[in-house]
Structure 1
Amino acid sequence: MTDGDALRGAIIAQPDDDTLRLVYADWLDENGQPDRAAFIRAQVWAAQADPFGPEARKHAATAKRLLDPARQAWAKRVHPWVLAAEFRRGFIDHATVNVATFPRDAAALFAAEPVRSLRMVRTAPEHELDPFFGTPQLARVTRLDLTNLWVAPYEIELLFECPHLAPLTDLGLRNTPVPPDRLAALLIGTALPALAGLDLADVANLGPCLASALSRADHRRFARLDLSRIRFTSHEIKQILASRCLRNVEELFLGWMPQSGREGALTHLDLSFGIIPWNRLRTLDLNGQGVGDPGTEQIVMELNRRRDPAPLRRLSLANNRVRADGVRALIHSDSTKLNLYHLDMSGNGLTLSQRAALQTRFPDAVIVD
């Protein structure tokens, strides 16, 4: 075993330790693999930088430039066992796996790379999920994604009751048929105790369930929540946003469908009265909610009067009928209270001069129009 093999083994055993990854990068430099070394450093530095900021973007661009021509070679260790793989912090962290073959391949996959995140794919409807959820290597997983996966109600039970998933922090159920009563039982109960991130986008019928359950899930502490394109009344969304479990949410996605003919749940709410939990919020997506100029002005008013600077760095007001007054409110927001790194204004018909003024106000931001 070489020093490099020993370092890789240590990284797999301690996947949260960035120091080991940087030491391995030094070893690669000393052993004729400078591009792989530079890639590891770039992804680690991007992850350590302020999210969405100039440093993070710079290092991410460097990593992409190095990865694009070498992806196949650097991912060859896992090719036999995955359908797709993604690098994070210099190593394969996320894998898309076939639920039928994962139980057989899991030991080899987790011995090869510090995988922490899985997306489940069912390549045939007859493939059962019982063996998948019985795989002990799931204890290494902190993020599990079931996006677009058809699951029977009893299989949702298998997921929520899986003893190997106790360390799970993030669960993706986007466009997955989750029975509202089972989701409510999960949120209110003690299963998946480490859960801090939940993606329920496009499961349109969950509005009443979430309003009731999240307001009773005081033992939960959600940092990431995606409720995009779920049907809510204004009362339900207010009830959700006032929930104790969202007090310190960091990423909140509340996008709606402007083409649906139905107004967003936030369209007629006054957003200047503490409706949105701003304490630690770094990402807010209101795409399609139709808050217009009044809602934009109310958001700015709320942030301007806060005692401390807002942590908000990424804001989407795409497709919100924001016109001159809303743009003006953003331009004249207090620069000591609001410093954006990403502002999505697409679908609002910005003029060139408005875009230029927003870029001047937020010089470190990517402005999308």
Structure 2
Amino acid sequence: MTDEPALLATILAHPDEDTPRLMFADWLQEHNQPLRAEFVRVQVQLADLLRRMARAGLRPTPRARTATECKRYPELFALLARQALIWPTYGEWFPFGPLPQDHAAATCENIFNKLCVYAAVNHLPWVSLTQRGFLKAVQCPAASWLAHADAILARHPVERVRLTDVPGALGQIRLGWRNGHKCQLGFRGRKMHVLALPPSAPGSESTWPHLLEAEWPSIGFERGFD
């Protein structure tokens, strides 16, 4: 397995495994993409270290970067330092796909959550969380997700999506047949699903969680900050 599509397909099929991501990093290194290769390796190593530390009951506060913590957790802060050196060049080599290069990007959950609030106040449509070398979570308008989900999911094992402006995309739902509480619904241009919903729900905002779960069952959807 040496081609990029095959490596990405393996990563998407086994998102919890580190080996396919490290194999992809080797491929990137061999194809003149050393910065992204290093970024993937560092993030995979960082995630593995944090998992091991959590199992051991260790709870560092890496954002503080105090001298005491650097001495106590030297491996952690060495990886964070390597990540910090690569991060400023992120916009030059990361494959964003439909995401704009100037979107708000984070490498940890805490910063991602803060950026989601910042994005709502400053009308920034896209926010992303990158971990283990790939997008893990995004926040974006509902209509943008429907338009670009396939392109994003073809390259990134996204686990969580926060949707904003759901009311603005209600027109994207199409209704097939209805029979009591059961109805056939789908997003425009996508397959139809049979769902059990209250009579007043089809086509309304309350439809979205059910239809999103039916369309992308492996992704956790949340309502973002409008």
Question: TM-score by structure 1 length?
Answer: 0.36
Q: How does 1:9-88 map to 2 (within 5 A)?
A: 9-49=9-49, 50-51=53-54, 52-53=59-60, 54=73, 55-79=75-99, 83-88=126-131
SS of the counterpart of 1:16?
A: coil
CA deviation after TM superposition for structure 1 residue 112, in Å: 2.7
Partner residue in 2 for 1:159? 209
Q: How does 1:1-369 map to 2 (within 5 A)?
A: 3-49=3-49, 50-51=53-54, 52-53=59-60, 54=73, 55-79=75-99, 83-122=126-165, 125-128=167-170, 131=173, 134=186, 155-156=205-206, 158-159=208-209, 162-164=213-215, 166-167=217-218, 172=222
CA deviation after TM superposition for structure 1 residue 166, in Å: 4.8
Runs of at least 5 residues in structure 1 that lack an aligned partner in the other structure: 138-153, 177-369
Distance 1:155 1:28, change over 3 A: same
Contact 2:126 2:140 in 1 (8 A): yes
SS of the counterpart of 2:47?
A: helix
CA deviation after TM superposition for structure 1 residue 160, in Å: 5.4
Contact 1:130 1:158 in 2 (8 A): no
Kindly tell me the number of residue pairs found equivalent between the two proteins: 158
Contact 2:163 2:224 in 1 (8 A): no
Q: Equivalents in 2 of 1:31, 1:166: separation in Å?
A: 34
Contact 2:143 2:168 in 1 (8 A): no
Q: Equivalents in 1 of 2:5, 2:218: separation in Å?
A: 27
Contact 2:18 2:44 in 1 (8 A): yes
- What residue identity is the alignment partner of 2:36? R
Q: Deviations over 1:44-87 (max 9, x none)?
A: 11111124543444323322321222234314323269723221
Contact 1:25 1:41 in 2 (8 A): yes
Distance 1:6 1:175, change over 3 A: closer
Partner residue in 1 for 2:64? none
Distance 1:171 1:115, change over 3 A: closer
SS of the counterpart of 2:154?
A: helix
Contact 2:142 2:164 in 1 (8 A): yes
Q: Equivalents in 1 of 2:145, 2:38: separation in Å?
A: 32
- What residue identity is the alignment partner of 1:36? R
Distance 1:158 1:18, change over 3 A: same
- Structure having the higher strand fraction is 2
CA deviation after TM superposition for structure 1 residue 17, in Å: 1.8
Q: Equivalents in 2 of 1:5, 1:21: separation in Å?
A: 13
CA deviation after TM superposition for structure 1 residue 157, in Å: 5.6
Contact 1:43 1:89 in 2 (8 A): yes
Distance 1:57 1:165, change over 3 A: farther
Q: Equivalents in 1 of 2:98, 2:43: separation in Å?
A: 19
Distance 1:7 1:44, change over 3 A: same
The share of aligned pairs that are identical, in percent, is 27
SS of the counterpart of 1:77?
A: coil
The CA RMSD over aligned residues, in Å, is: 3.6
Q: Equivalents in 2 of 1:125, 1:8: separation in Å?
A: 34
Contact 1:103 1:131 in 2 (8 A): no
Question: TM-score by structure 2 length?
Answer: 0.55
CA deviation after TM superposition for structure 1 residue 156, in Å: 4.2
Larger Rg: 1
- What residue identity is the alignment partner of 1:44? V
Partner residue in 2 for 1:228? none
